[in-house]
Structures are given as structure tokens and as C-alpha cells.
């Protein structure tokens, strides 16, 4: 898992350059519920940004907008690659990985991995050959002909990640990809993801519940407020890369964790109180 890096650690995001995606004052309402309110954030090219927040804070709504699946309310601005655009224009331009692996049970590992390429119209033979080359990197060598019901949860998740990576887009959206995994598998997967990310140099926006995970992975952590969701705190994580597993016990890590936990705690209390009020 931990191999020596031939690359130098990725330089931090260059703030001067045009961000890959920028949301300014984005709102989203579903009937009486306001999911996002004045959400503003940017993600630079090659950056790894993690998003944490209390449950029900509109993280998934944010992701659906960035994936192009939902249109934000009128008024906010969405810019992608320096141009203002509608959310729908992002369909097919962002590689999106939802919480559940959503593998197709009638497709084997390779054919699940190439699903997005097939939709793009790439010849199946060529896509399969490429997938076969990538299998070892995703820890799936020898499993190409297996079907999803024959795989463990961690492996299924890796197939889903491989599907996302094979759909080569500059921006990758990962929605709690490791949420369903046990703690041990999860830390393995985190290290592995950093490894793959540094070799493929993609931009990642990553949702999680787990503050440790957010700090361990990210260049920057966005803490969201309780609903309606907005950015409460933006925290740079200047920990050196490559990040080692023992980093989680380093004093800087603990310090960052304390700051973030305080912010999240405050918001969790708020959403807890509001839900109690509405229940009353």
C-alpha cells in the first residue's frame, strides 16, 4: 500500500489560478425546505477538498448540483473551467461516485468499471483492455470476471472507485465512498486513495462524516452549517504529503481536529435543537 513516491508531494493549490469550479451564493429549496443557502466555495485544479457537516446539512444536495443532477435556484452563480454554466451542462463532465457502490449485478468487475466509457461510446474491447491494465492498481487483479455479489464490501467499493477513475474527468465527486466500510478497511482505502490521486492528479471533492478522514485526505476542509447549508469554516490543512497513517496522532493533526470538531459540534447542536422544536 505504502510505496515510495517518485513524485514530489503535490504542490498546494495555486490560489491565483482560475479555480476548476466555483459556486457563489448558491441556494436550493425543495418545497418548504431550504437545503442550501448562499453556498460559496471554490475548488482549484488538482486540489483535494473535503466537506464535513452535521447530517442533513445539504451535502448531498451540493453534490447533486455539482454533478449536474439538480439545478440550483435562480440567483446563484456556478462557474466551471472559468465559464458560467447551468448545472445540467455538468452532466457527463464530472465523475461522480455516490454513497452506495451501485454496481450493476449482471456485469462483472471489468464491465462495471467500463460502464461510463461505454456510455461515452468507446469501443468495448478497448475499454476492457484499459480496465484490465488498471485492475492491479485497484487491488482487483484476478477478479475481473467476478460478479458484484461475489465480492466483499471493500472490493465492491474499489470497483465503484475504478469506474469513477476510468471516467476521466478533471473533477471527481466522492460522496462518503468509505462510509459503509469497517474502520480498518477504511484507513487502508484512504491511504490507497491518496496514492492513486497523487498519481492521477485529479481534482477531488469528497464528502464525509468523519473529521479524521477529512483532515487526513484534504488540502482543505469545508465545514458546513446546519440546514440550510452554507460554508461555516474553511480550514487549510498544511500537513505534508505523502501522509502517513501515524499522522492522526501528530499534535498538528489533533489541533486541526479540535478546531474542526468545535465548529461541527456547534452546528450539530443547532440542527438537533431545530429538529426538537419542529418535533414539538
Judged by the rule CB under 8 A, the positions of this chain that interact with another protein are: 64, 67-69, 91-96, 98, 100, 102, 104-106, 115-116, 118-120, 147-150, 167
Closest to another protein by CB, 14 or 104:
104
Q: How far is the CB of 103 from another protein (least distance, A)?
A: 9
Within 13 A of 69's CA, how many CA atoms are on the CB side? 12
What minimum distance in Å lies between the beta carbon of 97 and another protein?
A: 8
Cα(280)–Cα(275) distance, rounded to whole angstroms? 9
Instruction: Say which residue the cell 461510446 belongs to.
Output: 121
Q: Which backbone phi and psi does 152 adopt, to 5 degrees? A: -80, 170
Residue whose CB is less far from another protein, 93 or 209: 93
Nearest distance from C-beta of residue 29 to another protein, angstroms: 19
Least CB distance to another protein at residue 50 (A): 20
Distance, in Å, from the CA atom of 2 to the CA atom of 25, rounded to the nearest integer, reads 40
Nearest-5° Cα angle at 213, 233 to 258: 50
Cβ proximity to another protein: between 36 and 194 the closer is: 36
Residue 185 phi, psi (nearest 5): -60, -40
How far is it, in rounded angstroms, from Cα 77 to Cα 43? 14
Q: Cβ contacts of residue 150 below 8 Å, gap of 6+? A: none
Q: Which is nearer to another protein, 9 or 92 (CB)?
A: 92
Q: How far is the CB of 71 from another protein (least distance, A)?
A: 13
Taking the complex as a whole, the smallest distance from the CB of residue 237 to another protein amounts, in Å, to 28
In the complex, least distance from residue 119 CB atom to another protein, rounded to whole angstroms: 5
257 burial type by CB count under 10 A (0-12 exposed, 13-18 middle, 19+ buried): middle
CA contacts within 13 A on the Cβ side of 36: 27
Of 67 and 140, the one with the shorter C-beta distance to another protein is 67
Q: Which is nearer to another protein, 120 or 265 (CB)?
A: 120
| The three cell numbers locating residue 68 | 449536474
Distant-in-sequence, close-in-space partners of 260: CB < 8 Å, separation ≥ 6? 52, 211, 214, 215, 221, 223, 233, 235
Comparing CB distances to another protein, the nearer of 80 and 253 is: 80
Amino acid at each position: 500500500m505504502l510505496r515510495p513516491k517518485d513524485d514530489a508531494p503535490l504542490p498546494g493549490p495555486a490560489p491565483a489560478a482560475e479555480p476548476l469550479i466555483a459556486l457563489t451564493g448558491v441556494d436550493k429549496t425543495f418545497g418548504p425546505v431550504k437545503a442550501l443557502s448562499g453556498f460559496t466555495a471554490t475548488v482549484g485544479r488538482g486540489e483535494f477538498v473535503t466537506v464535513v457537516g452535521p447530517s442533513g446539512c445539504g451535502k448531498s444536495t451540493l453534490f447533486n448540483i455539482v454533478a449536474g443532477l439538480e439545478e440550483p435556484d435562480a440567483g446563484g452563480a456556478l462557474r466551471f473551467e472559468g465559464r458560467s454554466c447551468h448545472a445540467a451542462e455538468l452532466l457527463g463532465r464530472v465523475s461522480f461516485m455516490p454513497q452506495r457502490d451501485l454496481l450493476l449485478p449482471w456485469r462483472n468487475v471489468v464491465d462495471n468499471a467500463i460502464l461510463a466509457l461505454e456510455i461515452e461510446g468507446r469501443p468495448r474491447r478497448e475499454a476492457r483492455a484499459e480496465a484490465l491494465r488498471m485492475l492491479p492498481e485497484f487491488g482487483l487483479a484476478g477478479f475481473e470476471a467476478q460478479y458484484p455479489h461475489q465480492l466483499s464490501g471493500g472490493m465492491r467499493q474499489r470497483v465503484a472507485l475504478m469506474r469513477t477513475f476510468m471516467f476521466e474527468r478533471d473533477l471527481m465527486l466522492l460522496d462518503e465512498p468509505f462510509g459503509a466500510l469497517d474502520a480498518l478497511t477504511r484507513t487502508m482505502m484512504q491511504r490507497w486513495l491518496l496514492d492513486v490521486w497523487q498519481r492521477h492528479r485529479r481534482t477531488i471533492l469528497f464528502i464525509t462524516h468523519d473529521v479524521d478522514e477529512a483532515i487526513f485526505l484534504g488540502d482543505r476542509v469545508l465545514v458546513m452549517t446546519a440546514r440550510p447549508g452554507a460554508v461555516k469554516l474553511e480550514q487549510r490543512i498544511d500537513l505534508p504529503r505523502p501522509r502517513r497513517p501515524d499522522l492522526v496522532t501528530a499534535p498538528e493533526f489533533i489541533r486541526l481536529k479540535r478546531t474542526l470538531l468545535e465548529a461541527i459540534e456547534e452546528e450539530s447542536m443547532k440542527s438537533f435543537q431545530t429538529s426538537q422544536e419542529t418535533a414539538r
